[in-house]
């Protein structure tokens, strides 16, 4: 924020692209494989950020670096080769246009080391598709906010890293003991992530009526069982995957033969991807979903946003806003598996209608006209992930205030945290009362605010939520102990949650600078309308209650409810007075 000028072109040389790990990344405990990539988003024009796991950030740390800031733009395609304290810019002319797998193979061959870790873009990022992602190990994506396009705009295909140093920590014994404690206390049968992957919840969500279906029109999907984690395990799963040092093993590797030919090297679909190309599009074929997943990982596309574009186009098509003349003859109705896969390829390659959709959901809706914008389920231009706000209203609050637009990684998004069991696990945050999933009162907002600080902390410090309370073994106080053990700092939960709060305030000031106001903190109208089908049919969010909750949120954050701008005193408290408008 000091170096990026306001109102910069996200795809211009003036944008900055930051890859950053945390002080504890690369140390022994499970769940520390995550890192952030950030830039001004070409999708939203707002603060852009996305997290990924994998093996990349530990390797960068072993190479002796904490973070990388990419400035300007290379004249021709290059890649960055970072190893043992050195950084080298190399030609990538021969890699440009290649799918992620081929590019990764060539780089490893060229550098003569199969253990080089590669974060890269695919052809979609090169073509500046606004929903392009950055991917490492072909299956861990910094997915949201179109950061692949920013990397493409810089002519940067890849950051390849390799390091042989090991992390020094302040208290090795404590690190060992705490890491072992995580493993010993992890209750896999309870969470079932290793067994069923993140898609473990698909059937349950459908039963509860909160599995986004047919572009968020409905909340239960008849064929939920067919696309569930259980079915995946029984049919196409060949291996469980994982990230550096993690025993959760929530990742999937699936294999499919004709007609889709899915290679396990590209992993397998997460819950988000299952809902995306499954229930959202009315598709019950897990093999096709896996193919869609592979296309996204090969071309470097965010599965969440890209699917939203397709579902949005499907609803536009069903409502006559698009016709076969727009779709190159595709019968783009919900449930048409082949059309979904083909449409996806068209976005990936910017072909035909895909070229329009590749500009993002709002520009596409504007181009379509005829009320297509009503089918664009987005906040600030970023399409919504697959958590239904009408069934867990805290998610609605989160979508609307997340600095990156609708984004489930920026906010607490499971109603579990507001349950009796949830608040018990979160006890170090205070004596918090459980609140109903449909509640929007001040107690819900407080839980949301505290949890948002915590979620931000997890992102800032690179701890995967699946290894932290309420979903994993890392307790809130355990995180503090672990940071102490690694760094030797005399920190506390108070100190660390301020890190989380600081994230919200900084990202907010980023957006204020770009011209965003409270008017942009809105939910798509669909969420204020009754659900059209499923267990929660008829359920909506009460708009008045929602606006009141938003006001409470701003006040709790120390932001002016009129303008949404953090007050001077709050910025000063967070040591951010230099950001005062």
- What are the two backbone dihedrals, phi and then psi, of residue 360, each rounded to the nearest 5 degrees? 110, 160
- CA 3 to each of CA 36, 67, 155, 355: distance values in angstroms, whole numbers, following the listed order: 18, 15, 20, 32
How far apart are the C-alpha atoms of 46 and 405, rounded to whole Å?
8
Does position 555 interact with a copy of itself (CB under 8 A)? The reply is yes
Query: Which residue, among 211, 523, 526, has the nearest Cα to 394 in the 3D structure?
Result: 523
Q: Which residue has the tokens 């679909």?
A: 269
Q: C-beta of 171: minimal distance to a copy of itself in Å?
A: 14
CB 58 within 8 A of CB 164: no
CB 426 within 8 A of CB 451: yes
Q: C-beta of 574: minimal distance to a copy of itself in Å?
A: 9
DSSP state letter for 531: P
Q: C-beta of 570: minimal distance to a copy of itself in Å?
A: 7
Query: According to CB under 8 A, which one of 440, 554, 564, 579 is a site residue for a copy of itself?
Result: 554
Q: C-beta of 566: minimal distance to a copy of itself in Å?
A: 10
Q: Which is nearer to a copy of itself, 187 or 490 (CB)?
A: 490
Q: C-beta of 205: minimal distance to a copy of itself in Å?
A: 30
Phi-psi category of residue 26: left, alpha or beta, with phi > 0 → left and psi -120 to 50 → alpha: left
Does position 202 interact with a copy of itself (CB under 8 A)? The reply is no
- Residue 71 CB coordination number (10 Å): 13
Q: C-beta of 237: minimal distance to a copy of itself in Å?
A: 37
Does position 449 interact with a copy of itself (CB under 8 A)? The reply is yes
Instruction: Give the binding range for a copy of itself (CB under 8 A) out of 134-142, 275-283, 469-477, 514-522.
Output: 469-477
Query: According to CB under 8 A, which one of 251, 552, 565, 579 is a site residue for a copy of itself?
Result: 552
Q: Which is nearer to a copy of itself, 255 or 487 (CB)?
A: 487
302 to 341, contacts with a copy of itself by CB under 8 A? none
Does position 568 interact with a copy of itself (CB under 8 A)? The reply is yes
- Residue 458 CB coordination number (10 Å): 22
Query: Which residue, among 82, 121, 115, 78, has the nearest Cα to 98 in the 3D structure?
Result: 121
Does position 181 interact with a copy of itself (CB under 8 A)? The reply is no
Which structure tokens are listed for 4?
């990026």
Query: According to CB under 8 A, which one of 69, 109, 572, 581 is a site residue for a copy of itself?
Result: 572
Q: Which is nearer to a copy of itself, 362 or 468 (CB)?
A: 468
CB 514 within 8 A of CB 363: no
Does position 18 interact with a copy of itself (CB under 8 A)? The reply is no
Instruction: Give the binding range for a copy of itself (CB under 8 A) out of 116-124, 136-144, 363-371, 554-562.
Output: 554-562
Q: Which is nearer to a copy of itself, 97 or 561 (CB)?
A: 561
Which runs of consecutive H residues, i.e. helices, occur in 470-525? 476-487, 493-513
Helices (H) and strands (E) in the chain, counts: 22, 14
Instruction: Give the binding range for a copy of itself (CB under 8 A) out of 2-10, 92-100, 510-518, 564-572.
Output: 564-572
Instruction: Give the binding range for a copy of itself (CB under 8 A) out of 69-77, 83-91, 175-183, 569-577.
Output: 569-577
CB within 8 A of 297, min separation 6: which ones? 100, 122, 135, 138, 139, 141, 266, 267
Q: Which residue has the tokens 């965003």?
A: 516
Query: According to CB under 8 A, which one of 16, 79, 553, 564 is a site residue for a copy of itself?
Result: 553
Q: C-beta of 450: minimal distance to a copy of itself in Å?
A: 8
How far apart are the C-alpha atoms of 164 and 491, rounded to whole Å?
29
DSSP β-bridge partners for residue 80: 89, 159
Instruction: State the pairing for strand pair 134-136/78-83.
Output: unpaired
Q: C-beta of 11: minimal distance to a copy of itself in Å?
A: 36
Which structure tokens are listed for 443?
């107690």
CB 418 within 8 A of CB 437: yes
Residues in contact with a copy of itself, total (CB under 8 A)?
Answer: 40
Helix (H, G, I), strand (E, B) or coil at 265: helix
Q: Which is nearer to a copy of itself, 477 or 517 (CB)?
A: 477
Which structure tokens are listed for 178?
């705490």
> Max Cα separation, the chain?
67
Q: C-beta of 64: minimal distance to a copy of itself in Å?
A: 24
470 to 529, contacts with a copy of itself by CB under 8 A? 475-477, 480, 489-495, 497-498
Q: C-beta of 181: minimal distance to a copy of itself in Å?
A: 15
How far apart are the C-alpha atoms of 307 and 386, rounded to whole Å?
10
Q: Which helix (H) or strand (E) holds 349?
A: helix 337-349
429 to 448, contacts with a copy of itself by CB under 8 A? 429-431, 442-443, 445-446
Q: Which is nearer to a copy of itself, 445 or 509 (CB)?
A: 445
Q: Which residue has the tokens 């805290």?
A: 394
Q: C-beta of 554: minimal distance to a copy of itself in Å?
A: 7
Query: According to CB under 8 A, which one of 428, 438, 522, 547 is a site residue for a copy of itself?
Result: 428
Q: Which is nearer to a copy of itself, 261 or 489 (CB)?
A: 489
Does position 551 interact with a copy of itself (CB under 8 A)? The reply is yes
Query: Which residue, among 200, 60, 237, 67, has the nearest Cα to 136 in the 3D structure?
Result: 60
CB 309 within 8 A of CB 346: no
Q: C-beta of 505: minimal distance to a copy of itself in Å?
A: 13
Q: Which is nearer to a copy of itself, 249 or 498 (CB)?
A: 498
Q: C-beta of 557: minimal distance to a copy of itself in Å?
A: 8
Q: C-beta of 349: minimal distance to a copy of itself in Å?
A: 48
Instruction: Please give the residue ranges that form the binding site for a copy of itself (CB under 8 A).
Output: 427-431, 442-443, 445-446, 449, 475-477, 480, 489-495, 497-498, 551-558, 561, 567-570, 572-573, 575, 577
């Amino acid at each position: 924020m000091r170096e990026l000028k306001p109102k910069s072109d996200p795809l211009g040389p003036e944008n900055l692209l930051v890859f950053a790990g945390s002080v504890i990344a690369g140390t022994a405990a499970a769940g520390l494989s995550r890192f952030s990539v950030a830039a001004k988003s070409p999708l939203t024009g707002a603060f852009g950020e996305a997290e990924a796991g994998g093996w990349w950030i530990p390797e960068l740390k072993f190479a002796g670096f904490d973070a990388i800031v990419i400035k300007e733009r290379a004249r021709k395609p290059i890649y960055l080769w970072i190893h043992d304290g050195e950084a080298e810019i190399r030609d990538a002319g021969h890699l440009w246009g290649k799918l992620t797998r081929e590019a990764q193979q060539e780089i490893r061959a060229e550098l003569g080391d199969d253990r080089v870790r590669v974060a890269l873009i695919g052809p979609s990022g090169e073509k500046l598709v606004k929903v392009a992602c950055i991917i490492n190990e072909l299956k861990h994506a910094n997915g949201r906010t179109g950061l692949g396009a920013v990397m493409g705009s810089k002519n940067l295909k890849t950051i390849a890293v390799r390091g042989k140093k090991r992390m020094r920590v302040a208290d090795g014994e404590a690190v060992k003991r705490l890491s072992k404690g995580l493993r010993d206390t992890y209750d896999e049968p309870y969470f079932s992530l290793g067994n069923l992957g993140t898609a473990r919840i698909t059937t349950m969500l459908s039963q509860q009526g909160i599995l986004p279906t047919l572009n968020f029109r409905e909340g239960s999907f008849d064929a939920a069982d067919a696309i569930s984690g259980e079915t995946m395990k029984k049919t196409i799963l060949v291996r469980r995957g994982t990230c550096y040092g993690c025993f959760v093993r929530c990742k999937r590797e699936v294999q499919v033969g004709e007609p889709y030919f899915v290679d396990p090297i590209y992993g397998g679909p997460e819950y988000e991807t299952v809902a995306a190309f499954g229930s959202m599009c009315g598709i019950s074929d897990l093999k096709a979903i896996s193919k869609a997943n592979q296309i996204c990982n090969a071309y470097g596309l965010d599965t969440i946003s890209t699917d939203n574009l397709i579902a949005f186009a499907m609803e536009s098509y069903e409502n006559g806003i698009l016709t076969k003349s727009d779709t190159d003859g595709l019968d783009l109705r919900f449930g048409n598996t082949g059309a979904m896969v083909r449409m996806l390829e068209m976005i990936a390659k910017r072909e035909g209608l895909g070229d329009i959709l590749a500009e993002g959901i709002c520009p596409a809706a504007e181009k379509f006209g005829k009320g297509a914008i009503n089918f664009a389920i987005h906040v600030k231009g970023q399409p919504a992930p697959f958590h239904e706000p009408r069934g867990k209203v805290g998610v609605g609050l989160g979508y609307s205030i997340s600095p990156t637009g609708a984004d489930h990684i920026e906010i607490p998004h499971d109603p579990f945290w507001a349950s009796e069991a949830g608040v018990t696990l979160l006890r170090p945050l205070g004596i918090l009362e459980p609140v109903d999933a449909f509640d929007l009162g001040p107690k819900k907002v407080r839980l949301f605010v505290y949890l948002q600080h915590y979620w931000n902390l997890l992102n800032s410090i690179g701890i995967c939520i699946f290894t932290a309370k309420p979903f994993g073994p890392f307790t809130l106080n355990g995180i503090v102990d672990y940071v102490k053990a690694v760094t030797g700092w005399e920190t506390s939960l108070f100190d660390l949650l301020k890190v989380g709060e600081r994230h919200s305030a900084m990202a907010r000031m980023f957006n204020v600078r770009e011209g965003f106001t409270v008017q942009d903190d809105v939910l798509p109208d669909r969420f204020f309308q009754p659900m059209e089908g499923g267990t929660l049919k008829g359920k909506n969010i009460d708009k008045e209650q929602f606006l009141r909750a938003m006001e409470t949120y701003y006040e709790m954050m120390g932001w002016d409810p009129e303008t949404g701008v953090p007050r001077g005193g709050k910025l000063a408290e967070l040591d951010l007075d230099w950001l005062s408008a």
